[in-house]
């Protein structure tokens, strides 16, 4: 029995061209998405003022993949990979005429080597055309250029006619349309062996080729603009968090200052020397607070600040107040929010030890446990009833402030717990994600 061979199915010319256009858009979208994932490339997109190094980086980031695409077309007959016109025009629009010209030059080199002599001047011209548009067009108008412009095309036309002024969205739309029609005309005049172009067989297919060119320019702009907007939102969220942290931190200083000044006023007549010593130590602590604008410090620095505060309290209470530290050495470089321990220590002294008859002590502990830093402050003061543990107003300004600051900074990744027994004492425990000073800190 003779074998029967089926002839391979070949797509009609119009369907093959349509498939090529769809793949072409997909290739451009994938390239734009991949580039937007790199931090340096996003940095170039965000800032309009770019140095030569940024422009060259931008041009190489787009030009080298486009060069590979043209090589794929020549070697593999993969027409959808040739994005010379779109890439050069896009680079000029975003980074200026010279960046566009460099991208056009890189993309045209393989075609020029294959004998397509018109490819080089055409590609470089597309880059300069995009750069020229960038010089005259408002920058935000470029970023507003969208692949969905055809949905609002009538509105843009009416806007231009009614106001008798240029509508930049229409100008940006006209640029890839004009360049694609020019490429079609040059290709028909000199042949595909001199300038590559997609040869449609009907006016409708010509319209689709032009539409694909417009979309291949507008889609990356849409993707990159989304990345810019996302970065701006992150920056605004960061600034908002910084402002909130600063506001919460600023509440601590007046609260602490008020309590200390009240203590000094009560000592001025009975113990003037002690009051004078307190004022000197208070001025030193306030000077430190004024100089410090950091939101985060190492635990070592935070404990130094606590020592200055405790110096004031030891003067007030004398030998009645004992302070002991059980600090694990490997926690000293752990990053903590600044002024996060002082309100807790103050709370222990004010509500736990000040009302106790006899001596009192505070123990400060720290250790690392399963990727978290744990800090405990324990006193042997009067304590309070268990039914008040969940009473947030009973925490006062200090602890409520600490809890809110930790919530703003760490979200749900922190714990602040209180354990107390009436007549025995209170223990406050903070658990935060472990972050060492060698790591990058951003507020």
Angstrom CA distances, 90 to 262, 311, 317, stand at 67, 65, 72
SS3 content of the chain, % helix, strand, coil (to 5): 65, 10, 25
Closest C-alpha among 78, 68, 146 to residue 110: 68
| 53 CB-contact burial (10 Å; exposed 0-12 / middle 13-18 / buried 19+) | exposed
User: How many angstroms separate the CA atoms of 331 and 437, rounded?
Assistant: 10
User: How many angstroms separate the CA atoms of 286 and 198, rounded?
Assistant: 74
Residue 336 · residue 296 · CB < 8 Å: yes
Residue 83 · residue 27 · CB < 8 Å: yes
User: How many angstroms separate the CA atoms of 94 and 389, rounded?
Assistant: 59
Tens-binned pLDDT, residue by residue, of the chain (443 aa): 455 555 555 567 788 888 999 999 999 999 999 998 888 888 888 777 777 888 899 999 999 999 999 999 999 988 899 999 999 999 999 999 999 999 999 999 999 999 999 999 999 999 999 999 999 988 888 888 887 777 777 776 777 677 777 788 888 999 999 999 999 999 999 998 999 999 888 889 999 999 999 999 999 999 998 888 887 777 766 655 665 555 555 555 566 677 678 777 877 888 888 788 878 877 877 776 665 566 788 899 889 888 878 877 777 676 778 889 999 999 999 988 887 888 888 888 877 787 776 788 899 999 998 889 999 999 988 887 655 555 544 455 567 778 888 887 888 888 898 888 888 888 999 999 888 655 544 44
| 391 CB-contact burial (10 Å; exposed 0-12 / middle 13-18 / buried 19+) | exposed
| Contact residues for 210 (Cβ-Cβ < 8 A; gap 6+) | 176, 177, 180, 181
User: How many angstroms separate the CA atoms of 263 and 418, rounded?
Assistant: 26
Residue 265 · residue 276 · CB < 8 Å: no
User: How many angstroms separate the CA atoms of 392 and 390, rounded?
Assistant: 6
Residue extents of the structural domains in the chain: 13-234, 268-433
Closest C-alpha among 178, 163, 195 to residue 133: 178
DSSP assignment of 384-422, as one string? --GGGTT-HHHHHHHHHHHHHHHHHHHTTS-EEEEEEET
C-alpha atoms less than 13 angstroms from C-alpha of 306 in its C-beta half-sphere: 26
Please give the DSSP secondary-structure letter assigned to residue 48. S
- 3-class secondary-structure state, position 185: helix
Please give the DSSP secondary-structure letter assigned to residue 151. G
CATH class of 268-433: alpha beta
Closest C-alpha among 331, 337, 288, 336 to residue 309: 288
């Amino acid at each position: 029995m003779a074998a029967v061979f089926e002839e391979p199915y070949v797509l009609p010319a119009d369907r093959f061209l349509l498939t090529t256009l769809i793949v072409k858009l997909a290739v451009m979208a994938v390239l734009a998405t991949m580039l937007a994932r790199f931090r340096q490339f996003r940095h170039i997109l965000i800032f309009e003022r770019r140095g030569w190094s940024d422009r060259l980086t931008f041009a190489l980031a787009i030009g080298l993949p486009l060069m590979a695409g043209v090589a794929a077309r020549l070697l593999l007959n993969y027409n959808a990979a040739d994005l010379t016109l779109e890439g050069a025009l896009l680079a000029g629009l975003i980074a200026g005429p010279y960046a566009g010209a460099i991208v056009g030059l890189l993309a045209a080199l393989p075609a020029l080597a294959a004998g397509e002599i018109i490819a080089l001047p055409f590609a470089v011209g597309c880059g300069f055309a995009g750069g020229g548009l960038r010089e005259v067009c408002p920058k935000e108008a470029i970023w507003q250029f969208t692949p969905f412009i055809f949905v609002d095309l009538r509105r843009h036309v009416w806007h231009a006619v009614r106001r008798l002024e240029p509508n930049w969205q229409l100008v940006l739309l006209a640029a890839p349309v004009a360049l694609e029609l020019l490429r079609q005309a040059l290709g028909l005049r000199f042949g595909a062996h001199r300038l590559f172009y997609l040869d449609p067989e009907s006016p409708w297919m010509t319209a689709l080729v032009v539409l694909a060119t417009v979309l291949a320019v507008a889609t990356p702009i849409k993707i990159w603009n989304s990345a810019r907007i996302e970065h701006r939102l992150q920056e605004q969220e960061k600034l908002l968090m910084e402002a909130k942290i600063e506001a919460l931190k600023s509440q601590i200083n007046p609260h602490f200052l008020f309590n200390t000044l009240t203590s000094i006023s009560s000592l001025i007549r009975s113990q003037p020397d002690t009051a004078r010593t307190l004022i000197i130590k208070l001025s030193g602590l306030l000077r430190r607070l004024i100089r410090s604008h950091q939101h985060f410090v190492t635990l070592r620095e935070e404990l130094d600040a606590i020592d200055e505060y405790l110096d004031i309290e030891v003067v007030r209470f004398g030998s009645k107040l004992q302070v002991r530290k059980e600090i694990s050495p490997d926690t000293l470089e752990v990053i903590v929010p600044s002024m996060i321990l002082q309100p807790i220590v103050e709370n222990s002294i004010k509500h736990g030890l000040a009302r106790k008859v006899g001596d009192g002590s505070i123990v400060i502990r720290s250790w690392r446990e399963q990727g978290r830093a744990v800090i405990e402050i324990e006193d042997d003061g009067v304590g309070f009833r268990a039914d008040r543990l969940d009473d947030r107003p009973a925490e006062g300004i200090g602890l409520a402030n600490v809890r809110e600051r930790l919530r703003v900074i760490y979200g749900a990744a922190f714990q602040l717990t209180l354990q107390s027994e009436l007549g025995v004492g209170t223990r406050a425990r903070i658990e935060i994600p472990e972050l060492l000073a060698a790591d990058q800190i951003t507020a």
